[in-house]
Structure 1
Amino acid sequence: MRKTLIAVSAALAAQFAASPGHAETLNLLIWESYIDQNILDRWTEKTGVAVNQIYYDSGDARDEVLSDPSSNIDLAVIGENGADLFGKRGILEPLTETNVPSLKDYKPDWKARCAGYAMPYLWGTMGIVYRSDMVKTTPTSWNDLMSPAPELKKHVAMYDDHNEAFIAPLVLLGKSINANDNETLKAAFEVMKKQAPFVLTYDYVITSIQSPENGKNIYMALAYSGDQHVLNDKAGTPGVWRYAVPKEGTLSWLDCMAVTAASPRKGLALQLLDFIGSADNAAANAEALTMPTANEKALDLIPAEMRSNREIYPPAEILAKSQYQKELSVQSIQTRRRIISSMANFQ
């Protein structure tokens, strides 16, 4: 699926680059179902500039597109670690309150995590999504995912990504999710190998749930907070998919939205970023997606019921046990990718 998305992205980018009729279209590289379409529609109505969303389903796929100088991407949603790496490589445009005035509504620590090259967008945790009609007991530990009950054999979806795929095994081992040493990664491999016979697919759950072959057979999966709402919408089963954060701790993630330095429509892209990041739109987006915003001013515009929902805004005790992603060594990334690729041998 990842290669398909990359090919589609490249084809779309080439199409928009070649056609003068699309000169007033901005290309946004983003996860599927990750922005309220009404916000983009209001932008187009206000400016006459359309927004073309190009989807990816893993950080690796996104990074390949961003690394391609011919991709013709104007804006991209990228993780905090990626914002720093791609910013230092000159791929992302530096941001300030001068070129994106809405940045004033974000606390310095949030902005620092996007490294000055992107705007804080949405944040959350990583955990376990499960079909409550098939999994009667709420998962409480990463062991529930990595050592599943016998009845879950071939009903688990994991995630083919060199960062996220290792969170559960590394946390279970009591290690850093940013581990680089071969001994620790080998121990994680052993945990993943034992789980492999239970795994139906290593495609991201929002991708795999839409597969006619696999969708109805997925009962539990590795996922981001907020994915349960998208899964319920895709499956047409309100409330069936639920989300749980394991007691051992997890990843505390922040997604950032950036403008590419090579964008031929950079001025318009910066204006769109400022529009999306404004308090009104940040609040509307967070409410529509049922996810937490990093915009402090927007919090006052979000219903109290949503702000007090622990599934959306995790409690302090969960965040205290969570880790941030940091830059991995090249050797670690290569080892992790080899481990993930080998999982098919054990399914």
Structure 2
Amino acid sequence: MTVDVAMIKKHKACVLVWVLFVCFSPSAETLHILNREGYLSDQVTARFEQNTGHRIEQIYYDNEKRRNALLDRADKYNFDLVLVDHNSARIFGARGLFSPLTLEQIPNLDQVPAFRKEQCGQFGAPYFWSTLGILYRADKVQPPPSSWRDLLVPDDHLKGHVGMLDNSLDTLVPPLAMLQQPLDSDDNQVLREAFSLLKAQSSWVLTYEYPRTYIRHDQQADRLYMAQGYSSDRAAMNTFSDQEHWRFVLPDEGTLVRLDCLAIFRHSPHQALATEFLNFLNQPEIAALNAEQTFATPANDAALTLLSGQFGQDSSIFPLVPALQNGQLAPRLDPKNMEIRNRITLAVLKNHETR
């Protein structure tokens, strides 16, 4: 069973709580995972349920602001695991929200490179990694974009056809990279310039919803021609839209590399089952299946040799080393910087809504 947080966000919290406490057979435990839609293979969950007799239930979020709001009230919900970026794994783990993880509990993590385990820290199990770039429809956008400027200052025919993300880090990457400024800049003048670019661009923006969510659920999905998004989104968007027009490009100015981690809530009553599930996900053949079914890049290197040739050679999912040279792991922002950026994104959205 799955529940889409975005679809019920306008309802009271009690609705979500009621949904999560659906009664199941007393012989089976149920793991509730707060996750992005499409980031866990149905075949993988089916195998785990068949092997163990237990159940997997996913609750979806479509942006990190909503996820963080849920994390702040996690003890009131029935969540066991959550998908978070590596910075959030460390931040919320340090606050006591997550349980620490060890190789003794999850021995298959020994097949994950040490630097990725270090990035997720003691509270996160590395899951997928991806790069931030530009998604575009090859039948609508010619020539192909190559710069963040193509997204921020688009051609006139793209007015009302552009998508952007809505969070304090990703939204600011295009203008900061275009201005050749550090992606974690806290310089007020630089951030004002970035805000000006985003405000001017808002007249071209169709949506600030996560692109793969928008493509799958919105009735105006066919109006989206170009969007900010991650490398793992391209193949999924082609599948959801039942076409092969979507492409992905890493802009010349540089970009972010995102590492997603899975964390277990400290309050979860299913600690043993949750660690068993994380160990299952890191079996090489399962990690490979999960990657191919979700169109994502596995953090488990042992899975790489088990991937099909066509999937393993997809340069949007596995960018070539030269394309990654201008990439950097998503930086951790201090609270003041985060607050300023949140005000910027809120102002941009308000400007978009009132245009």
TMscore range, shorter length: over 0.9
Matched residue SS, 1:281: helix
CA distance in 2 between partners of 1:6 and 1:13 (Å) = 14
Matched residue SS, 1:41: helix
**Cα distance change of structure 1 residues 234 and 52 upon mapping to structure 2, 3 Å threshold:** same
> 1:38 maps to what in 2?
43
Question: Per-residue CA shift, 1:300-346, capped at 9, x if unaligned?
Answer: 21134433332211111222211222221222222212211222325
Residue 124 of structure 2 is aligned to residue 122 of structure 1: no
> 1:229 maps to what in 2?
235
CA distance in 2 between partners of 1:77 and 1:228 (Å) = 20
Q: Percentage identity across aligned positions?
A: 34
Compute the displacement of 1:15 (Å). Answer: 4.0
CA distance in 2 between partners of 1:102 and 1:293 (Å) = 14
Q: Match for 1:338 among 316, 336, 343?
A: 343
Residue 175 of structure 2 is aligned to residue 169 of structure 1: yes
Matched residue SS, 1:114: helix
CA distance in 1 between partners of 2:39 and 2:159 (Å) = 30
Q: Is the 8 A contact 1:14 1:72 kept in 2?
A: no
User: Which 4+ stretches in 1 moved above 6 angstroms?
Assistant: none
**Cα distance change of structure 1 residues 161 and 92 upon mapping to structure 2, 3 Å threshold:** same
**Cα distance change of structure 1 residues 6 and 82 upon mapping to structure 2, 3 Å threshold:** farther
Q: Match for 1:153 among 130, 150, 159?
A: 159
CA distance in 2 between partners of 1:197 and 1:246 (Å) = 22
CA distance in 2 between partners of 1:216 and 1:61 (Å) = 25
Compute the displacement of 1:212 (Å). Answer: 4.3
Compute the displacement of 1:201 (Å). Answer: 1.4
Q: Give structure 2 stretches of 5+ with no counterpart.
A: none
Q: Match for 1:195 among 196, 201, 204?
A: 201
> 1:131 maps to what in 2?
137
Q: Is the 8 A contact 1:10 1:71 kept in 2?
A: no
Q: TM-score, normalised by structure 1?
A: 0.94
CA distance in 1 between partners of 2:296 and 2:306 (Å) = 14
Alignment of 1:92-131 (within 5 A): 92-131=98-137
Compute the displacement of 1:106 (Å). Answer: 0.8
Residue 195 of structure 2 is aligned to residue 183 of structure 1: no
Compute the displacement of 1:41 (Å). Answer: 0.4
What is the number of residues matched between the two proteins?
A: 346
Compute the displacement of 1:3 (Å). Answer: 8.6
**Cα distance change of structure 1 residues 136 and 340 upon mapping to structure 2, 3 Å threshold:** same
Amino acid aligned to 1:278? Q
Matched residue SS, 2:323: helix
Amino acid aligned to 1:122? F
> 1:267 maps to what in 2?
272
> 1:215 maps to what in 2?
221
Alignment of 1:225-304 (within 5 A): 225-237=231-243, 239-304=244-309
CA distance in 1 between partners of 2:306 and 2:78 (Å) = 35
Matched residue SS, 1:256: strand
Amino acid aligned to 1:89? R
Question: Per-residue CA shift, 1:158-187, capped at 9, x if unaligned?
Answer: 111111111111111111222223222111
Question: Per-residue CA shift, 1:190-239, capped at 9, x if unaligned?
Answer: 111121110111111122224544212111111110211111111111x1
> 1:51 maps to what in 2?
56
Q: CA RMSD in A?
A: 2.0
> 1:313 maps to what in 2?
318
Greater displacement, 147-156 / 9-18: 9-18
Amino acid aligned to 1:287? E
CA distance in 2 between partners of 1:18 and 1:40 (Å) = 18
Q: TM-score, normalised by structure 2?
A: 0.92
Matched residue SS, 1:115: helix
